[in-house]
Amino acid sequence: MSGFNSSDAFTPPCARSSSKHLSHDGDEPLSFAVHSLPDPAQSQLHQVAPAGQARSGRWKMLAVLLMCAAPVVASYFTYYVLRPTQQRSYGELIASQPSLPDVQVQKLDGSSVNLRSLQGQWLLLSTSSGACEERCQDHLYLQRQLRETLGREKDRLDWVWLINDQQPVSEKILSAAEQATALRMPTAAIQAWLQPEAGHTLDEHLYVVDPQGHWMMRFPANLDKASAGKAKRDLERLLRASSSWDEAGRGAGRGAAEIADK
């Protein structure tokens, strides 16, 4: 029995062959190549990035829109909210702010024009008879002076004289008010639009109309040269508060007098 290995009888030939090779080459440990798996965090990051970029883009667009709208919003907030409550004005602010009436008025040469053609410019307005007695003359003088004292902003304000009858206007008055917009408007139409302070008459006040055509301020009946500085400050505040959305001139830079001439 010598030389007989019982274990070889139960060992397959391929195994015996392998063992022979191993016996010659020496035992070598088994090695496994393990490939790295994808990182879940990195995968989620790639999925979240496009959504984050979209949100960032929307926020940037919203910020640009807010920057564009901010001047208009700020001017309206200052004009309609802060000014009446935090800084007392000399003129009385009109809460209802009635619009320029849709009515035909007459120029001094007898031709007709719609009063709403004056819209698009700040207006400083007075009203009286065509005879234009002392109070009327004082108002026309104050209107001219207040406009001139605004300096480079004066082109944003026109002064208007509404004549409530058909009486002729003297050459002296016409010469003094040649830069004014003089229009004949029936008394009933004026009374339906403008209102004096209680106990006073329409011709005792100066009135302010904004570029949208809203009557929004009435100066006191006792306005004179001594108190004209207070009225000037009110006008400067209004022009400053509206500087972001209002431009000098109506349309292509035309004023009320030029509109009335057409």
How far is Cα 257 from Cα 83, in angstroms, rounded to an integer?
A: 30
pLDDT in tens, 50-66: 666 777 777 888 888 77
pLDDT tier at 70, thresholds 50, 70, 90: confident
- Do 61 and 174 sit in the same domain of this protein? no
Q: Is the pLDDT of residue 256 over 60?
A: no
Give me the chain's average pLDDT, please.
80
- Do 78 and 113 sit in the same domain of this protein? no
DSSP assignment string, 197-239: PTT--GGG--EEE-TTSBEEEE--TT--TTTHHHHHHHHHHHH
Angle of the 134-148 helix axis to the 228-241 helix axis, nearest 10: 50
Pick from 33, 66, 87: which residue ends a domain? 87
- Do 225 and 197 sit in the same domain of this protein? yes
How far is Cα 55 from Cα 262, in angstroms, rounded to an integer?
A: 54
pLDDT in tens, 140-171: 999 999 999 999 999 999 999 999 999 999 99
Pick from 87, 112, 132: which residue ends a domain? 87
- Do 60 and 107 sit in the same domain of this protein? no
- Do 58 and 103 sit in the same domain of this protein? no
pLDDT, residue 170, reads 95
- Do 129 and 205 sit in the same domain of this protein? yes
Torsion, Cα 103 250 237 221, to 10 degrees, reads -30
Is residue 254, in this structure, part of any structural domain at all?
yes
Is residue 9, in this structure, part of any structural domain at all?
no
- Do 116 and 206 sit in the same domain of this protein? yes
Is residue 105, in this structure, part of any structural domain at all?
yes
- Do 185 and 75 sit in the same domain of this protein? no
Give the total number of structural domains in the chain: 2
Is residue 172, in this structure, part of any structural domain at all?
yes
Residues of the domain holding 220: 92-260
> Domain with 143 in it: what CATH number?
3.40.30.10
H/E segment holding residue 244: none
Is residue 58, in this structure, part of any structural domain at all?
yes
Instruction: Please name the residue that has the structure tokens 């830079």.
Output: 253
Distance (Å) of CA 156 to CA 8, 88, 120, 256: 117, 23, 9, 10
Is residue 180, in this structure, part of any structural domain at all?
yes
Least confident stretch, 23-27, 43-47, 185-189:
23-27
Pick from 32, 64, 87: which residue ends a domain? 87
- Do 137 and 75 sit in the same domain of this protein? no
How far is Cα 58 from Cα 64, in angstroms, rounded to an integer?
A: 10
- Do 107 and 189 sit in the same domain of this protein? yes
pLDDT, residue 2, reads 45
Is residue 16, in this structure, part of any structural domain at all?
no
- Do 118 and 65 sit in the same domain of this protein? no
pLDDT tier at 131, thresholds 50, 70, 90: very high
Is residue 170, in this structure, part of any structural domain at all?
yes
- Do 76 and 178 sit in the same domain of this protein? no
DSSP state of 165: S
